[in-house]
């Protein structure tokens, strides 16, 4: 009898009241987990509604293209049978469907928007659509001739090719133009000529300027952080307040201050002229160009580098350096081989933080960047606010996001995210 009890016990542990131990344990854990989930649920919901949904809907706009197919719902299916690689424009039945679609769009006043959409691909579509929609109701067959009479663009095969290409539910046109590609008249994807490729150039500029800003921040922040971490608590707290002081001042004020300092009639130029280093007409251009952007952004982002570095350095015991010295290393070797490797976590955290903020920075380059100092984010803002080409803005944003993620993964591979220490 006792042997059977033992063998059962060996197979399955049970609690005092006979419930299997595993079941009982799972039940106890589930309760704790549910309670934890309940606590984070409001935050999760908030972030989901205010962050994830807007971002995904915005990113979706970079490929979304339902407008044309919706408005021209009779024409588009018929266009699929048309061979765009030939020389002939579509036949009478397509024109007939198009007239009906336009007549309907005129009633619901929806002809303008697909026109504007197609105008991004080929200028002229917008006015063509408006003109045609106004007259569509009164047209009589044969529609083909009647339409071409309204505008001879309808006889131009290039318009038809664009219309067919951009009639699907999704489009890659935004991404192509975000990467400086476009379609030639035959519908092949070609690289834009040099003077028209602005986006790639801006991506590269954003990338190298962000990297430069990150490196400059690191160079400036490292000694400050070291000082902060070695000073006695009283003076280091005071210094830390000075480091954080810029956070309490409006970003606009700080950036405008840089304009006052760096401009041609500004403090630095006046001083250099006064000292005789510059002639009055040889004043340096330090604002509304790349120099201005870099100087102002390094200033704005410096605390983001100081804080992680400081928090890591504070945890490094001074005995490490002493041990290295006592083991025979001169001060420089001790610093490079013992101290610096221990600050990698802070360098990584500060670097990633500054770089990611810099790569998407908008206000400072907009104010002091001028022509040569604007970054990709300024162009995204332009397409959101001025040109209203949200699809292109979304595509640029998505590429930027993708690039940051790639760099992040690269960092994880090389340094390891676990090593990072924020604050």
Q: Is the dihedral of CA 208, 209, 211, 212 positive or negative?
A: positive
> Is residue 325 near other proteins by the rule CB under 8 A?
yes
> Is residue 230 near other proteins by the rule CB under 8 A?
no
Which one among 334, 347, 393, 398 touches other proteins, defined by CB under 8 A?
A: 334
Min dist. Cβ of residue 235 to other proteins (A) = 16
> Is residue 324 near other proteins by the rule CB under 8 A?
yes
Which one among 12, 81, 326, 372 touches other proteins, defined by CB under 8 A?
A: 326
Closer to other proteins by CB, 77 or 331: give it.
Answer: 331
Query: Is the distance from CB of 292 to CB of 368 less than 8 angstroms?
Result: yes
- Kindly identify the residues of this chain, within the stretch 140-179, that bind other proteins according to CB under 8 A: none
> Is residue 322 near other proteins by the rule CB under 8 A?
yes
The C-alpha angle 223, 317, 320, rounded to 5 degrees, equals 90
Closer to other proteins by CB, 279 or 319: give it.
Answer: 319
- Kindly identify the residues of this chain, within the stretch 15-54, that bind other proteins according to CB under 8 A: none
Q: What kind and span of H or E run contains 190? A: strand 189-191
Closer to other proteins by CB, 46 or 320: give it.
Answer: 320
> Is residue 188 near other proteins by the rule CB under 8 A?
no
> Is residue 341 near other proteins by the rule CB under 8 A?
yes
Closer to other proteins by CB, 327 or 417: give it.
Answer: 327
> Is residue 286 near other proteins by the rule CB under 8 A?
no
Query: Is the distance from CB of 314 to CB of 229 less than 8 angstroms?
Result: yes
Q: Is the dihedral of CA 328, 333, 337, 339 positive or negative?
A: positive
Which one among 8, 323, 410, 417 touches other proteins, defined by CB under 8 A?
A: 323
Distance of CA 421 to the CA centre of its chain: 23
Min dist. Cβ of residue 35 to other proteins (A) = 34
**What's the CA gap between 162 and 88, in Å, rounded?**
14
> Is residue 335 near other proteins by the rule CB under 8 A?
no
Which one among 278, 284, 329, 363 touches other proteins, defined by CB under 8 A?
A: 329
Min dist. Cβ of residue 228 to other proteins (A) = 21
Burial class (CB in 10 A: 0-12, 13-18, 19+), 37: exposed
State the CB neighbour count (10 A cutoff) for residue 5: 9
**What's the CA gap between 405 and 346, in Å, rounded?**
20
**H-type helices in 231-342, by residue range?**
233-244, 251-262, 267-275, 290-314, 318-326, 331-334, 340-342
* Closest to 381 in 3D by CA, of 401, 400, 366: 366
Closer to other proteins by CB, 194 or 341: give it.
Answer: 341
**What's the CA gap between 392 and 284, in Å, rounded?**
36
Min dist. Cβ of residue 338 to other proteins (A) = 6
Which one among 127, 235, 333, 387 touches other proteins, defined by CB under 8 A?
A: 333
> Is residue 3 near other proteins by the rule CB under 8 A?
no
Residues that bind other proteins (CB under 8 A): 317, 319-320, 322-331, 333-334, 337-338, 341-342, 344
């Amino acid at each position: 009898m006792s042997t059977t009890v033992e063998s059962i016990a060996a197979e399955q542990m049970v609690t005092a009241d006979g419930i299997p131990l595993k079941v009982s344990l799972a039940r106890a854990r589930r309760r704790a987990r549910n309670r934890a989930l309940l606590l984070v649920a409001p935050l999760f919901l908030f972030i989901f509604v205010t962050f994830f949904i807007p971002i995904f809907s915005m990113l979706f706009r970079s490929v979304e293209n339902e407008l044309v197919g919706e408005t021209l719902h009779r024409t588009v299916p018929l266009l699929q049978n048309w061979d765009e690689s030939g020389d002939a424009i579509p036949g009478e039945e397509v024109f007939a469907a198009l007239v009906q679609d336009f007549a309907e769009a005129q009633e619901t006043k929806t002809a303008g928007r697909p026109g504007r959409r197609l105008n991004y691909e080929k200028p002229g579509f917008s006015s063509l659509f408006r003109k045609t929609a106004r007259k569509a109701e009164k047209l009589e067959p044969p529609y083909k001739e009647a339409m071409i009479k309204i505008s001879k663009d309808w006889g131009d095969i290039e318009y038809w090719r664009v219309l067919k290409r951009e009639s699907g539910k999704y489009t890659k046109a935004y991404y192509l133009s975000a990467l400086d590609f476009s379609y030639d008249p035959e519908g092949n994807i070609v690289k834009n000529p040099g003077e028209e490729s602005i986006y790639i150039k801006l991506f590269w500029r954003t990338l190298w300027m962000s990297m430069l800003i990150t490196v400059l921040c690191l160079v400036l922040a490292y000694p400050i952080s070291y000082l902060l971490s070695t000073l006695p608590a009283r003076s280091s707290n005071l210094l830390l307040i000075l480091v954080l002081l810029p956070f309490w001042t409006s970003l606009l004020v700080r950036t405008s201050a840089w304009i006052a300092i760096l401009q041609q009639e500004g403090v630095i130029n006046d001083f250099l002229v006064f000292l005789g280093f510059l002639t009055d007409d040889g004043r340096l251009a330090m604002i509304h160009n790349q120099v201005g952007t870099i100087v102002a952004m390094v200033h704005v982002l410096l605390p983001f580098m100081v804080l992680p570095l400081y928090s890591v350095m504070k945890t490094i015991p001074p005995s490490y350096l002493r041990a290295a010295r006592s083991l025979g290393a001169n001060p420089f070797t001790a610093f490079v081989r013992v101290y610096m490797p221990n600050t990698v976590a802070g360098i990584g955290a500060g670097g990633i933080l500054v770089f990611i903020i810099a790569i998407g920075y908008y206000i400072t380059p907009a104010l002091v960047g001028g022509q040569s100092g604007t970054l990709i984010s300024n162009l995204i803002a332009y397409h959101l606010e001025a040109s209203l080409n949200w699809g292109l803005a979304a595509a640029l944003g998505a590429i930027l996001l993708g690039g940051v993620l790639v760099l992040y993964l690269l960092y994880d591979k090389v340094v390891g995210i676990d090593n990072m220490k924020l604050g």
